[in-house]
Structure 1
């Protein structure tokens, strides 16, 4: 004890003399603290492992709490608090959103006595998912009505909200008809009203999280609104083919009667009208009217007749429309050009086409030099292909239909629906079985049968 006191006292004297300095306590001066983050690209709707690593002076910092937040809808929201392991790392699973702006995360370390605070922000990379587009809808649509085609867009089992384009196949190529956006459910409807058989598809460009896509082709068959004519399989087709006329305008028959327009008159002159005709432009009218075609579709036809008879013809044809009694075609007869044999428009061709017509300043078919009642504009020929005419030179336009009938388009008696409709509107079936398709308008003060035709059929 005595020696210990001597030593202690000696040390005290040395310190006081400044000859011995006491050792300072060992402290951590602190190095740079770094927080890093990494994650692989992933598909929206799937989880990506976000690895956070905290180091101080290059060494792992274990047991540290890291606060993680996520940017959602424009603001930061808490996501999780994770603790680093012995390697200074923490792993957090984050499910990727479809919007890139919602795939931003940040982590924060608040520091301690030995380590500075640190933070890091990470943008999670989206890997585009393979997307698929489907286009569904009915297989048929009735003409003049509409149908809804529905586009459905999905990727990675998620609905895709984005712009899609509806395309229609026309003229050998695809044409964009309309563009719309799918909703949050990945669906959008397109209302279409095609007038013919049509083919459709939808296409979409790539989004940040989904590839572009194209649907399979959807076929849409156009069906007639009326009942097509069903003729015997052996029935011959007209020898002269005509293009389909323009589709009907508006509802019902919608007849319009006008004076002869200048352009129509130019086409008539030298064909269905020429100098010496008993009626001129001022005495004629143009009728445009809807009719039911043999195929069950509605068309817009036209014919020229005398001003004093045009209303009766319009009423009769409108009645045929209401009863869905079809007409094969209704072109003005000047379409068929000049016939030297008939000295007027070519009625042989008009009959061979099954064309319904009225005014034609020409001779009687089969009786050269005898003026036809059609030259007065008060006669109407309806569906001549199925309702032949017996002339002095033979049967026109075919013999097959001479002894056959049809309840809608071929009549052989006054009890037939077409003959009754005509009679109720002042149009007489003048020659009966002699000229099946010929009707004459009964006009007050006018002869029903012109001179020279009392003892013969004057078609």
Structure 2
């Protein structure tokens, strides 16, 4: 397969303009120079090759590019990989549309803590089929809201990420932690770098 379109670059001016006030908000604490723009190929649910776009932290850019190369070469299906700015950086809209994305300066749902997405250190894959499930004040919350039927992980269905899934295996091989393994909540779409790795990498690449 031709993997030529797999590229990493500093954020181009036209892309950065699209990000303004959306994923890159006025209070963003991550400087533009710490982010990278990735173009990747992916196999869509239609079986055809598509070009995807992602923004990630420079610390994980090489790893993420390699992960998407491996998934593409294996024919792993990812429906959409669009910048979340196409959804006005609205995570719910992006997830409802089963979009896979990375950087978005935002807080963790129902908290005042910055998400790893805010640092460009997390990637979400096939979000509709792999929802975020958390109990808040005794009430069960599912994101996206239209993903209720995919919350029962004991049944088999297409595009489900679990420990046997190639997506999980490839991200894990690159040191990512999976939200499906969390105890306080379940985020089946979510892969992020652990804090310890980030601290070591930041020191190494300074």
TM-score (norm 2): 0.84
1:387 lines up with 2:123 in the alignment: no
Where 1:282 maps in the other structure, the secondary structure is helix
Q: 1:347 aligns with which of 91, 98, 111?
A: 91
Name 1:291's counterpart in structure 2: 42
* Cα 1:418/1:268, change in 2 over 3 Å: same
Please say if residues 312 and 427 of structure 1, whose CA atoms lie closer than 8 Å, have aligned partners that are also in contact. Answer: no
Q: How far 1:392 moved relative to its partner?
A: 3.7
Question: Greater helix percent: which structure?
Answer: 2
Alignment of 1:2-401 (within 5 A): 251-252=2-3, 254-337=5-88, 345-365=89-109, 367-393=110-136, 394-397=141-144, 398-401=147-150
> Which ranges in structure 2 are unaligned for 5 or more consecutive residues?
201-206
Residues 232-258 of structure 1: CA deviation (Å, up to 9, x unaligned)? xxxxxxxxxxxxxxxxxx823731001
Q: Which range is displaced more, 308-317 or 390-399?
A: 390-399
Where 1:400 maps in the other structure, the secondary structure is helix
Name 1:436's counterpart in structure 2: 188
Where 1:399 maps in the other structure, the secondary structure is helix
Residues 328-364 of structure 1: CA deviation (Å, up to 9, x unaligned)? 1000011111xxxxxxx21010110100000000111
Please say if residues 179 and 189 of structure 2, whose CA atoms lie closer than 8 Å, have aligned partners that are also in contact. Answer: no
Aligned length: 189
Where 2:112 maps in the other structure, the secondary structure is strand
Q: How far 1:431 moved relative to its partner?
A: 4.1
Where 1:370 maps in the other structure, the secondary structure is coil
* Cα 1:447/1:405, change in 2 over 3 Å: farther
Where 2:171 maps in the other structure, the secondary structure is helix
Where 1:421 maps in the other structure, the secondary structure is helix
Distance in structure 2 (CA, Å) of the matches to 1:405 and 1:440: 25
Specify which structure has the bigger relative contact order, considering alpha-carbon pairs within 8 angstroms and separated by 6 or more residues: 2
Question: Greater strand percent: which structure?
Answer: 1
Q: How far 1:402 moved relative to its partner?
A: 1.2
Please say if residues 102 and 117 of structure 2, whose CA atoms lie closer than 8 Å, have aligned partners that are also in contact. Answer: yes
* Cα 1:254/1:428, change in 2 over 3 Å: farther
Where 1:276 maps in the other structure, the secondary structure is coil
1:402 lines up with 2:151 in the alignment: yes
RMSD of aligned alpha carbons: 2.1
Q: How far 1:280 moved relative to its partner?
A: 1.4
Residues 349-395 of structure 1: CA deviation (Å, up to 9, x unaligned)? 01101000000001112x14322111010000000111011134511
